[in-house]
Amino acid sequence: MKRLLICGSIFLILCALLIVKCSHSQEEKKEQKKHHEEVEKSIRERKKGDQYESFQHMKWHESEGYEIELHEKGGSDLLVFSPHGGDIEPGTSEIVEAFQQTYSTYLFEGTKKDNNRDLHITSTKFDEPILVQLIKTYPFSMSIHGYQSDRRHTLVGGTNRKMARAVVRELKDRGFSAEMVQEGERLSGTDPKNINNQNASGESVQLEISTAQREAFFDNFSTRKGKKKAFRRYVNAIKQVLRDVHTSP
C-alpha cells in the first residue's frame, strides 16, 4: 500500500512537471512569435519609411541636421561604424564610440530636433562618399544597427559566419539574448550591396540591436546619459570576440 502511494505521488509530480514544461514551452513559442512579428514590422517600416534613395537625394532636401564623425586609428584593420547613428537609431553611436580606443570608427548621425528617422538610408543604398571610399581601405568591418522590438535581443549577421556565431555565443554567455540570422534572410547583412560588405575582403559582421536592449544600456535613453553595467558588459563581449576570432590566424 505504501509503495502504491509513493508511486502515485511520483506520478503526480511527474505530471505536474510535464504541465509546467508544456506551459513554459507555449509561453516561449508565443514570445518567439511576437518577436518575429516585431522584426517583420520593423522591416516593413524601414522600407516604407525611407524617404531618400541615396545620400545625394537626401542632401537635396536636408541641408543640415546630420553629422559625420570619423575616427581613424593607426594600425587598425577593422572599421566599426553605424550609418544610422545619433537619433536615427538611438544608442548605436554610443556603442560604436566604445571601440574608438582600439579600432577605426565612422558615424553618420541624425541631429535634427525631430523626425530623424527621415535620414535613414537603407544599408544596401547607403552611399555617403566618405564611407564609400573609407571602407574600401579596410579588410574587415562591423556595422551597428537598431530595430524596433520590446524584447531585449540582438540579431547577428554579416558574411563572416564564424565570427557571427562567436558573437552570439559570447553574448549569451554574458547573459544577453541573441541569435544568428541565416544567410539570405532579412536583416542577415549578407547582401553584397550592403555597405558593410563593400570593404576590401567582403568579410563583415552586422549587429541589429532591439529597442528594448538599447534602452537597457542607459539610465536615460532619450539623452543616452548614464551608461549602465549592461552597456559595458555588452561591448566587452564583442571586444572579446574581436580579440579571439578576428586576430586569430
pLDDT reading at 167 higher than 80: yes
Provide the percentage of residues in the chain whose pLDDT is more than 70.
79
pLDDT computed for residue 17 by the predictor: 64
Average pLDDT of span 116-129: 96
Instruction: Please tell me the distance from the alpha carbon of residue 219 to that of residue 59, in angstroms, as a whole number.
Output: 34
pLDDT reading at 218 higher than 90: yes
Average pLDDT of span 3-21: 62
Instruction: Check residue 210 and give left, alpha or beta (phi > 0: left; psi -120 to 50: alpha).
Output: beta
Q: Which of 31-45, 196-210, 219-233 has the lowest mean pLDDT?
A: 31-45
pLDDT computed for residue 153 by the predictor: 98
Average pLDDT of span 63-88: 96
pLDDT range class, residue 248, cuts 50, 70, 90 = low
Q: Which of 20-29, 73-82, 99-108, 135-144 has the lowest mean pLDDT?
A: 20-29
Element (H, E) at 163: helix 161-173
pLDDT range class, residue 3, cuts 50, 70, 90 = low
pLDDT range class, residue 14, cuts 50, 70, 90 = low
The C-alpha cell 541589429 sits at 208
pLDDT computed for residue 245 by the predictor: 82
Beta strands 78-86 and 104-110, pairing class: parallel
Beta strands 140-147 and 203-210, pairing class: parallel
pLDDT range class, residue 246, cuts 50, 70, 90 = confident
Instruction: Please tell me the distance from the alpha carbon of residue 162 to that of residue 246, in angstroms, as a whole number.
Output: 10
pLDDT computed for residue 202 by the predictor: 97
pTM of the full predicted structure?
A: 0.83
Q: What is the chain's mean pLDDT, rounded?
A: 89
